[in-house]
Amino acid sequence: MLVTAESDKTGFFMYWNETKECMSRDQIEELQSKRLVKQINRIYHNVEYYRKKMQEAGLEPSDIRGIEDLDKLPFTTYEDIAKAYPFGLSAVPLSEAVRVHASSGTTGKPKIAIYTRKDIDIWSECVARCFSMAGITKNDIIQVGYGYGLFTGGLGAHYGAENLGALVIPMSTGNTKKLIDMMIDCGTTAIACTPSYLLHVAEALEAEGLVDKIKLKYAICGAEPWTDNMRKQIEERLHIKAVDIYGLTEIMGPGVAADCEHHKGLHIWEDHFIPEIIDPDTLEQLPAGQTGELVITTITKEGMPLIRYRTRDLTSIEIGKCDCGRTMARIQRFKGRSDDMLVIRGVNVFPSQVEQALLEIDGTTPNYMINVDRVDNNDTFEVQIEVEERFFSDEIRKLEELRSKVENSIHQMTGIKAKVRLVEPNALPHSDGKTKHVNDARKLV
Protein backbone atom coordinates (compact mmCIF):
# COMPACT_ATOMS: atom_id res chain seq x y z
CA MET A 1 0.00 0.00 0.00
CA LEU A 2 1.28 3.41 -0.87
CA VAL A 3 1.15 5.61 2.18
CA THR A 4 1.61 9.30 1.53
CA ALA A 5 2.53 12.09 3.86
CA GLU A 6 -1.15 13.08 4.03
CA SER A 7 -2.40 9.66 5.05
CA ASP A 8 0.27 8.85 7.59
CA LYS A 9 0.33 10.73 10.84
CA THR A 10 3.09 8.76 12.56
CA GLY A 11 5.64 10.41 10.34
CA PHE A 12 7.24 7.17 9.25
CA PHE A 13 6.56 7.73 5.58
CA MET A 14 6.90 11.51 5.50
CA TYR A 15 8.34 13.32 2.52
CA TRP A 16 10.51 16.28 3.45
CA ASN A 17 10.29 17.83 -0.01
CA GLU A 18 7.61 15.96 -1.94
CA THR A 19 7.93 18.14 -5.06
CA LYS A 20 11.55 17.11 -5.48
CA GLU A 21 11.48 13.59 -4.04
CA CYS A 22 8.63 12.53 -6.32
CA MET A 23 9.48 14.29 -9.61
CA SER A 24 8.80 12.37 -12.81
CA ARG A 25 11.80 10.92 -14.68
CA ASP A 26 11.38 13.57 -17.40
CA GLN A 27 11.40 16.35 -14.82
CA ILE A 28 14.48 14.88 -13.09
CA GLU A 29 16.40 14.66 -16.37
CA GLU A 30 15.37 18.13 -17.48
CA LEU A 31 16.51 19.63 -14.18
CA GLN A 32 19.76 17.65 -14.21
CA SER A 33 20.54 18.81 -17.76
CA LYS A 34 19.92 22.45 -16.87
CA ARG A 35 22.04 22.25 -13.73
CA LEU A 36 24.83 20.28 -15.42
CA VAL A 37 25.21 22.87 -18.18
CA LYS A 38 25.37 25.66 -15.60
CA GLN A 39 27.85 23.75 -13.44
CA ILE A 40 30.18 22.99 -16.35
CA ASN A 41 30.22 26.66 -17.31
CA ARG A 42 31.03 27.63 -13.73
CA ILE A 43 33.88 25.19 -13.25
CA TYR A 44 35.36 25.91 -16.69
CA HIS A 45 35.64 29.57 -15.85
CA ASN A 46 36.41 29.30 -12.12
CA VAL A 47 38.63 26.22 -11.71
CA GLU A 48 41.86 26.13 -13.66
CA TYR A 49 42.25 22.43 -12.90
CA TYR A 50 38.98 21.54 -14.65
CA ARG A 51 39.54 24.00 -17.49
CA LYS A 52 42.84 22.31 -18.31
CA LYS A 53 41.34 18.84 -18.07
CA MET A 54 38.50 19.82 -20.40
CA GLN A 55 40.88 21.47 -22.84
CA GLU A 56 43.05 18.32 -22.85
CA ALA A 57 39.92 16.35 -23.74
CA GLY A 58 39.18 18.86 -26.52
CA LEU A 59 36.03 20.11 -24.80
CA GLU A 60 34.45 23.53 -24.48
CA PRO A 61 31.51 24.23 -22.16
CA SER A 62 29.21 24.53 -25.19
CA ASP A 63 29.89 20.84 -26.00
CA ILE A 64 27.89 19.89 -22.91
CA ARG A 65 24.23 20.50 -23.74
CA GLY A 66 22.64 18.12 -21.25
CA ILE A 67 23.01 14.80 -19.44
CA GLU A 68 23.30 13.03 -22.81
CA ASP A 69 26.79 14.62 -23.06
CA LEU A 70 27.91 13.61 -19.56
CA ASP A 71 30.07 10.73 -20.79
CA LYS A 72 32.18 13.14 -22.88
CA LEU A 73 33.54 14.64 -19.66
CA PRO A 74 36.75 13.34 -18.05
CA PHE A 75 36.51 11.53 -14.70
CA THR A 76 37.75 13.08 -11.47
CA THR A 77 39.59 10.79 -9.06
CA TYR A 78 40.87 11.06 -5.52
CA GLU A 79 44.35 11.46 -6.99
CA ASP A 80 43.05 14.69 -8.60
CA ILE A 81 41.83 15.88 -5.20
CA ALA A 82 45.20 14.98 -3.65
CA LYS A 83 47.09 16.87 -6.38
CA ALA A 84 44.91 19.92 -5.85
CA TYR A 85 45.40 19.83 -2.03
CA PRO A 86 44.27 21.85 -0.17
CA PHE A 87 42.09 24.30 -2.13
CA GLY A 88 43.00 23.77 -5.80
CA LEU A 89 39.52 22.51 -6.73
CA SER A 90 37.70 25.36 -5.03
CA ALA A 91 35.28 27.06 -7.42
CA VAL A 92 34.76 30.08 -5.16
CA PRO A 93 37.12 32.56 -3.49
CA LEU A 94 37.88 31.30 0.02
CA SER A 95 36.04 34.32 1.42
CA GLU A 96 32.82 32.67 0.11
CA ALA A 97 33.61 29.33 1.77
CA VAL A 98 32.39 28.68 5.31
CA ARG A 99 33.51 25.14 6.17
CA VAL A 100 36.07 22.46 5.49
CA HIS A 101 35.80 18.73 6.13
CA ALA A 102 38.35 16.03 5.36
CA SER A 103 38.85 12.29 5.23
CA SER A 104 41.86 10.02 4.81
CA GLY A 105 43.77 10.09 1.56
CA THR A 106 45.82 7.15 0.36
CA THR A 107 48.94 8.57 2.03
CA GLY A 108 49.79 11.59 4.14
CA LYS A 109 47.49 14.44 3.19
CA PRO A 110 43.73 14.14 3.67
CA LYS A 111 41.09 14.70 0.99
CA ILE A 112 39.58 18.08 1.69
CA ALA A 113 36.08 19.30 0.85
CA ILE A 114 35.08 22.97 0.88
CA TYR A 115 31.54 24.23 1.47
CA THR A 116 29.80 27.55 0.90
CA ARG A 117 26.80 28.58 2.98
CA LYS A 118 24.50 27.36 0.19
CA ASP A 119 26.32 23.99 0.15
CA ILE A 120 25.67 23.61 3.88
CA ASP A 121 21.99 24.48 3.34
CA ILE A 122 21.64 21.91 0.55
CA TRP A 123 23.46 19.33 2.64
CA SER A 124 21.08 19.96 5.57
CA GLU A 125 18.14 19.63 3.17
CA CYS A 126 19.46 16.28 1.86
CA VAL A 127 20.02 14.93 5.39
CA ALA A 128 16.58 16.18 6.46
CA ARG A 129 15.05 14.26 3.53
CA CYS A 130 16.90 11.10 4.65
CA PHE A 131 15.92 11.49 8.30
CA SER A 132 12.32 12.24 7.41
CA MET A 133 12.29 9.15 5.19
CA ALA A 134 13.53 7.18 8.23
CA GLY A 135 10.53 8.35 10.23
CA ILE A 136 12.09 11.18 12.23
CA THR A 137 10.13 14.39 12.78
CA LYS A 138 10.50 17.59 14.77
CA ASN A 139 9.01 15.75 17.73
CA ASP A 140 11.99 13.44 18.01
CA ILE A 141 15.03 13.62 20.24
CA ILE A 142 18.04 12.42 18.29
CA GLN A 143 21.47 11.45 19.54
CA VAL A 144 24.19 11.92 16.95
CA GLY A 145 26.79 9.25 17.63
CA TYR A 146 29.00 9.99 14.63
CA GLY A 147 32.28 11.76 15.29
CA TYR A 148 32.25 15.58 15.22
CA GLY A 149 35.23 17.32 13.65
CA LEU A 150 36.84 16.89 10.26
CA PHE A 151 34.73 13.76 9.73
CA THR A 152 31.45 14.75 8.05
CA GLY A 153 29.25 12.35 10.06
CA GLY A 154 28.72 14.41 13.22
CA LEU A 155 28.11 17.90 11.87
CA GLY A 156 26.36 16.60 8.74
CA ALA A 157 23.79 14.63 10.73
CA HIS A 158 23.54 17.45 13.27
CA TYR A 159 22.63 20.20 10.80
CA GLY A 160 20.17 17.91 9.00
CA ALA A 161 18.40 16.98 12.22
CA GLU A 162 18.26 20.62 13.33
CA ASN A 163 16.84 21.57 9.94
CA LEU A 164 14.12 19.01 10.58
CA GLY A 165 13.44 20.69 13.92
CA ALA A 166 14.33 17.64 16.02
CA LEU A 167 16.04 18.08 19.37
CA VAL A 168 19.67 17.13 18.78
CA ILE A 169 22.04 15.68 21.36
CA PRO A 170 25.56 16.05 19.88
CA MET A 171 26.94 12.91 21.51
CA SER A 172 29.86 12.23 19.16
CA THR A 173 31.82 8.99 19.71
CA GLY A 174 33.73 7.32 22.48
CA ASN A 175 31.60 7.05 25.59
CA THR A 176 29.00 4.30 25.47
CA LYS A 177 28.00 4.55 29.13
CA LYS A 178 27.27 8.26 28.82
CA LEU A 179 25.39 7.67 25.57
CA ILE A 180 23.19 5.08 27.28
CA ASP A 181 22.65 7.22 30.38
CA MET A 182 21.54 10.17 28.26
CA MET A 183 19.42 7.94 26.06
CA ILE A 184 17.46 6.83 29.11
CA ASP A 185 17.43 10.18 30.95
CA CYS A 186 16.45 12.30 27.94
CA GLY A 187 14.08 9.76 26.37
CA THR A 188 16.02 9.69 23.10
CA THR A 189 13.84 8.46 20.23
CA ALA A 190 16.35 8.33 17.36
CA ILE A 191 20.04 7.67 16.90
CA ALA A 192 22.49 8.26 14.08
CA CYS A 193 25.71 6.21 14.30
CA THR A 194 27.58 3.40 12.57
CA PRO A 195 25.70 0.08 12.48
CA SER A 196 28.50 -1.85 14.23
CA TYR A 197 28.50 0.70 17.05
CA LEU A 198 24.73 0.43 17.42
CA LEU A 199 25.04 -3.34 17.79
CA HIS A 200 27.66 -2.71 20.44
CA VAL A 201 25.24 -0.33 22.22
CA ALA A 202 22.52 -3.02 21.96
CA GLU A 203 24.85 -5.50 23.63
CA ALA A 204 25.67 -3.08 26.42
CA LEU A 205 21.95 -2.37 26.97
CA GLU A 206 21.16 -6.09 27.05
CA ALA A 207 23.99 -6.81 29.47
CA GLU A 208 22.59 -4.22 31.90
CA GLY A 209 18.97 -5.28 31.33
CA LEU A 210 18.14 -1.78 30.08
CA VAL A 211 16.51 -2.41 26.68
CA ASP A 212 13.02 -1.84 28.13
CA LYS A 213 14.11 1.47 29.66
CA ILE A 214 14.85 3.18 26.33
CA LYS A 215 12.36 5.01 24.10
CA LEU A 216 14.35 4.58 20.90
CA LYS A 217 12.26 4.20 17.70
CA TYR A 218 14.57 4.93 14.77
CA ALA A 219 18.20 4.52 13.74
CA ILE A 220 20.04 5.95 10.75
CA CYS A 221 23.19 3.95 10.24
CA GLY A 222 25.96 4.28 7.70
CA ALA A 223 29.58 5.26 7.07
CA GLU A 224 30.59 1.60 6.74
CA PRO A 225 29.41 -1.49 4.86
CA TRP A 226 26.68 -3.54 6.55
CA THR A 227 24.03 -6.06 5.60
CA ASP A 228 20.27 -6.50 5.71
CA ASN A 229 20.86 -9.15 8.32
CA MET A 230 22.65 -6.68 10.58
CA ARG A 231 19.74 -4.27 10.09
CA LYS A 232 17.25 -6.95 11.15
CA GLN A 233 19.36 -7.78 14.22
CA ILE A 234 19.42 -4.12 15.23
CA GLU A 235 15.67 -3.82 14.68
CA GLU A 236 14.82 -6.96 16.64
CA ARG A 237 17.19 -6.41 19.54
CA LEU A 238 16.26 -2.77 20.11
CA HIS A 239 12.63 -2.94 18.84
CA ILE A 240 13.25 -0.07 16.40
CA LYS A 241 13.29 0.71 12.66
CA ALA A 242 16.71 1.20 11.08
CA VAL A 243 17.72 2.57 7.68
CA ASP A 244 20.94 2.85 5.73
CA ILE A 245 22.52 6.21 4.91
CA TYR A 246 25.38 6.77 2.47
CA GLY A 247 27.71 9.58 1.66
CA LEU A 248 31.32 10.55 1.24
CA THR A 249 33.30 13.60 2.25
CA GLU A 250 34.37 14.56 -1.26
CA ILE A 251 30.77 14.72 -2.51
CA MET A 252 29.18 16.17 0.64
CA GLY A 253 29.09 13.78 3.63
CA PRO A 254 26.14 11.70 4.92
CA GLY A 255 22.87 12.21 3.07
CA VAL A 256 23.88 11.67 -0.56
CA ALA A 257 21.47 8.72 -0.44
CA ALA A 258 19.44 6.73 2.08
CA ASP A 259 16.91 3.93 2.03
CA CYS A 260 13.26 4.10 2.97
CA GLU A 261 11.06 1.69 4.92
CA HIS A 262 10.79 -0.60 1.88
CA HIS A 263 14.55 -1.23 1.82
CA LYS A 264 14.72 -1.50 -1.95
CA GLY A 265 17.89 0.54 -2.30
CA LEU A 266 19.13 3.95 -1.23
CA HIS A 267 17.37 6.88 -2.91
CA ILE A 268 20.04 9.20 -4.28
CA TRP A 269 18.97 12.85 -4.44
CA GLU A 270 19.18 13.24 -8.19
CA ASP A 271 18.29 16.92 -8.19
CA HIS A 272 21.77 17.48 -6.68
CA PHE A 273 23.78 14.45 -7.84
CA ILE A 274 23.93 12.59 -11.14
CA PRO A 275 24.85 8.95 -10.50
CA GLU A 276 26.42 6.67 -13.11
CA ILE A 277 27.74 3.12 -12.88
CA ILE A 278 30.90 2.32 -14.81
CA ASP A 279 33.02 -0.72 -15.41
CA PRO A 280 36.13 0.11 -13.31
CA ASP A 281 38.41 -1.55 -15.88
CA THR A 282 37.03 -0.29 -19.21
CA LEU A 283 35.50 2.89 -17.71
CA GLU A 284 32.43 2.35 -19.91
CA GLN A 285 29.00 3.29 -18.55
CA LEU A 286 26.93 0.28 -17.47
CA PRO A 287 23.13 0.03 -17.74
CA ALA A 288 20.76 0.03 -14.75
CA GLY A 289 20.90 -3.19 -12.77
CA GLN A 290 24.53 -4.01 -13.54
CA THR A 291 27.17 -3.85 -10.83
CA GLY A 292 30.12 -1.53 -11.25
CA GLU A 293 31.72 1.54 -9.72
CA LEU A 294 29.51 4.42 -8.63
CA VAL A 295 30.43 7.73 -10.26
CA ILE A 296 28.82 10.95 -9.02
CA THR A 297 28.59 14.44 -10.55
CA THR A 298 27.58 17.23 -8.18
CA ILE A 299 25.32 19.68 -10.04
CA THR A 300 24.54 22.21 -7.34
CA LYS A 301 27.72 22.20 -5.24
CA GLU A 302 29.39 25.62 -5.20
CA GLY A 303 32.51 25.18 -3.04
CA MET A 304 34.12 22.14 -4.56
CA PRO A 305 32.02 20.74 -7.41
CA LEU A 306 33.11 17.29 -8.57
CA ILE A 307 32.57 16.13 -12.12
CA ARG A 308 32.20 12.39 -12.72
CA TYR A 309 33.90 11.57 -9.42
CA ARG A 310 34.95 7.93 -9.15
CA THR A 311 33.78 6.92 -5.66
CA ARG A 312 35.39 3.42 -5.89
CA ASP A 313 32.24 2.04 -4.24
CA LEU A 314 30.81 -0.96 -6.08
CA THR A 315 27.04 -1.16 -6.49
CA SER A 316 24.24 -1.08 -9.07
CA ILE A 317 21.39 1.35 -9.66
CA GLU A 318 17.65 0.80 -10.10
CA ILE A 319 15.49 3.38 -11.82
CA GLY A 320 11.73 3.54 -11.32
CA LYS A 321 9.18 4.53 -8.74
CA CYS A 322 9.62 2.96 -5.31
CA ASP A 323 6.71 1.68 -3.20
CA CYS A 324 7.21 4.74 -0.98
CA GLY A 325 6.25 6.96 -3.93
CA ARG A 326 9.72 8.44 -4.39
CA THR A 327 11.08 8.42 -7.91
CA MET A 328 14.76 9.07 -7.33
CA ALA A 329 17.14 6.30 -8.47
CA ARG A 330 18.05 3.66 -5.91
CA ILE A 331 21.60 2.54 -5.18
CA GLN A 332 21.75 -1.07 -4.07
CA ARG A 333 23.69 -2.17 -0.99
CA PHE A 334 27.41 -1.75 -1.54
CA LYS A 335 29.28 -4.82 -2.67
CA GLY A 336 32.80 -3.63 -1.87
CA ARG A 337 35.34 -1.24 -3.33
CA SER A 338 37.37 -1.14 -6.51
CA ASP A 339 40.42 -0.08 -4.47
CA ASP A 340 41.96 -1.39 -1.25
CA MET A 341 40.38 1.09 1.17
CA LEU A 342 39.17 -0.42 4.44
CA VAL A 343 36.55 1.15 6.69
CA ILE A 344 37.61 0.41 10.28
CA ARG A 345 35.36 1.74 13.08
CA GLY A 346 33.85 4.06 10.48
CA VAL A 347 37.26 5.49 9.54
CA ASN A 348 38.73 5.09 6.06
CA VAL A 349 42.11 3.39 6.15
CA PHE A 350 44.38 2.67 3.20
CA PRO A 351 47.19 0.07 3.48
CA SER A 352 49.43 2.70 1.83
CA GLN A 353 48.99 4.90 4.93
CA VAL A 354 50.36 2.11 7.14
CA GLU A 355 53.23 1.66 4.68
CA GLN A 356 53.97 5.38 4.83
CA ALA A 357 53.90 5.32 8.65
CA LEU A 358 56.46 2.50 8.66
CA LEU A 359 58.76 4.20 6.16
CA GLU A 360 59.30 6.98 8.63
CA ILE A 361 60.67 4.67 11.34
CA ASP A 362 64.17 3.32 11.37
CA GLY A 363 64.38 -0.42 12.10
CA THR A 364 61.07 -1.44 10.49
CA THR A 365 60.80 -3.25 7.15
CA PRO A 366 58.12 -2.90 4.45
CA ASN A 367 56.84 -6.38 5.37
CA TYR A 368 53.64 -5.92 7.28
CA MET A 369 50.20 -7.44 7.63
CA ILE A 370 47.01 -5.63 8.60
CA ASN A 371 44.59 -7.90 10.47
CA VAL A 372 41.04 -6.63 10.80
CA ASP A 373 38.28 -8.48 12.60
CA ARG A 374 35.05 -7.76 14.43
CA VAL A 375 34.81 -8.86 18.07
CA ASP A 376 31.64 -8.07 20.05
CA ASN A 377 30.63 -5.73 17.21
CA ASN A 378 33.80 -3.70 17.57
CA ASP A 379 36.32 -3.62 14.76
CA THR A 380 39.79 -4.76 15.78
CA PHE A 381 42.80 -3.35 13.94
CA GLU A 382 46.14 -5.08 14.37
CA VAL A 383 49.34 -4.49 12.42
CA GLN A 384 52.15 -7.06 12.41
CA ILE A 385 55.50 -5.76 11.24
CA GLU A 386 58.78 -7.50 10.59
CA VAL A 387 61.58 -5.57 12.25
CA GLU A 388 65.32 -5.95 11.93
CA GLU A 389 66.91 -8.92 13.71
CA ARG A 390 68.98 -6.70 16.02
CA PHE A 391 65.92 -5.62 17.97
CA PHE A 392 65.32 -9.16 19.11
CA SER A 393 68.83 -9.53 20.49
CA ASP A 394 68.69 -6.08 22.15
CA GLU A 395 67.10 -5.24 25.47
CA ILE A 396 63.35 -5.67 25.60
CA ARG A 397 63.05 -1.92 26.37
CA LYS A 398 64.29 -1.03 22.86
CA LEU A 399 61.75 -3.34 21.26
CA GLU A 400 59.02 -1.77 23.37
CA GLU A 401 60.17 1.75 22.40
CA LEU A 402 60.03 0.81 18.73
CA ARG A 403 56.57 -0.69 19.12
CA SER A 404 55.26 2.46 20.74
CA LYS A 405 56.84 4.63 18.00
CA VAL A 406 55.16 2.53 15.31
CA GLU A 407 51.84 2.68 17.14
CA ASN A 408 52.01 6.48 17.34
CA SER A 409 53.03 6.84 13.73
CA ILE A 410 50.13 4.63 12.50
CA HIS A 411 47.72 6.53 14.76
CA GLN A 412 48.90 9.85 13.34
CA MET A 413 48.70 8.69 9.75
CA THR A 414 45.33 6.90 9.89
CA GLY A 415 43.53 8.64 12.76
CA ILE A 416 42.83 5.39 14.61
CA LYS A 417 44.79 3.27 17.05
CA ALA A 418 46.22 -0.06 15.95
CA LYS A 419 47.53 -2.85 18.12
CA VAL A 420 51.08 -3.30 16.88
CA ARG A 421 52.95 -6.61 17.01
CA LEU A 422 56.62 -6.65 16.04
CA VAL A 423 57.77 -9.92 14.55
CA GLU A 424 61.13 -11.34 13.48
CA PRO A 425 62.32 -11.21 9.85
CA ASN A 426 60.52 -13.72 7.59
CA ALA A 427 57.79 -14.38 10.13
CA LEU A 428 55.11 -13.07 7.72
CA PRO A 429 54.08 -14.82 4.50
CA HIS A 430 56.08 -13.63 1.47
CA SER A 431 55.16 -14.08 -2.14
CA ASP A 432 56.86 -13.61 -5.48
CA GLY A 433 53.84 -11.86 -6.88
CA LYS A 434 51.63 -9.24 -5.27
CA THR A 435 52.13 -9.54 -1.52
CA LYS A 436 48.94 -9.66 0.49
CA HIS A 437 48.99 -6.99 3.18
CA VAL A 438 45.43 -7.22 4.45
CA ASN A 439 43.59 -9.98 6.22
CA ASP A 440 40.02 -8.79 6.76
CA ALA A 441 38.26 -11.52 8.73
CA ARG A 442 35.09 -9.49 9.42
CA LYS A 443 32.03 -11.42 8.43
CA LEU A 444 29.18 -9.08 7.71
CA VAL A 445 26.24 -11.39 8.33
Binding site residues, ligand DLL, CB under 6 A: 103, 146, 152-153, 222-225, 244-249, 253-254, 311, 313, 334, 337, 343, 348
Closest approach of ligand DLL to the CB of residue 203, in Å: 21
Closest approach of ligand DLL to the CB of residue 182, in Å: 20
Cβ nearer to ligand DLL, comparing 84 with 402: 84
What's the order of all strands across the beta sheet hosting 292-298? 273-278, 292-298, 309-315, 336-337
Query: 3-state SS of 317-382?
Result: EECCCCCCCCCCCEECCCCEECCCCEEECCEEECHHHHHHHHHCCCCEEEEEEEEEEEECCEEEEE
Cβ nearer to ligand DLL, comparing 37 with 192: 192
Q: Characterize the bridge pairing of strands 141-144 and 167-169.
A: parallel
Cβ nearer to ligand DLL, comparing 178 with 335: 335
Closest approach of ligand DLL to the CB of residue 238, in Å: 18
Closest approach of ligand DLL to the CB of residue 328, in Å: 16
Closest CA to 245 of 232, 260, 229, 262: 260
Instruction: Yes or no: say if 75 and 283 are a contact pair by the CB < 8 Å rule.
Output: yes
Residue 345: left (phi > 0), alpha (psi -120 to 50), or beta?
A: left
As a whole number of angstroms, the distance between CA 47 and CA 396 comes to 55
CB-based closest residue to ligand DLL: 222
Cβ nearer to ligand DLL, comparing 150 with 399: 150
As a whole number of angstroms, the distance between CA 14 and CA 7 comes to 9
Cβ nearer to ligand DLL, comparing 245 with 383: 245
As a whole number of angstroms, the distance between CA 186 and CA 287 comes to 48
Cβ nearer to ligand DLL, comparing 214 with 245: 245
Closest approach of ligand DLL to the CB of residue 301, in Å: 15
Q: Could you please report the per-residue DSSP string of 11-30?
A: STT--SSHHHHT--HHHHHH
Closest approach of ligand DLL to the CB of residue 389, in Å: 39
Closest CA to 443 of 354, 348, 379, 400: 379
Instruction: Yes or no: say if 260 and 324 are a contact pair by the CB < 8 Å rule.
Output: yes
Cβ nearer to ligand DLL, comparing 163 with 249: 249
Closest approach of ligand DLL to the CB of residue 57, in Å: 25
Closest approach of ligand DLL to the CB of residue 201, in Å: 16
Cβ nearer to ligand DLL, comparing 224 with 302: 224
Q: At what angle do helices 195-207 and 176-186 cross, to 10 degrees?
A: 70
Closest approach of ligand DLL to the CB of residue 106, in Å: 13
Closest CA to 298 of 86, 23, 47: 47
Residues 6+ apart with CB under 8 A from 399: 387, 391, 392, 422
Residues 6+ apart with CB under 8 A from 5: 13, 14, 15, 18
Closest approach of ligand DLL to the CB of residue 123, in Å: 11
Closest approach of ligand DLL to the CB of residue 248, in Å: 4
> Is it true that the peptide bond before 366 is cis, omega within 30 degrees of 0?
no
Residue 226 phi/psi, 5° resolution? -150, 175
DSSP state of 94: G
Cβ nearer to ligand DLL, comparing 152 with 188: 152
Cβ nearer to ligand DLL, comparing 223 with 410: 223
Cβ nearer to ligand DLL, comparing 68 with 228: 228
H/E element holding 154?
A: helix 152-164
Cβ nearer to ligand DLL, comparing 220 with 422: 220
User: How many residues does this entry show for the chain?
Assistant: 445
Closest approach of ligand DLL to the CB of residue 436, in Å: 21
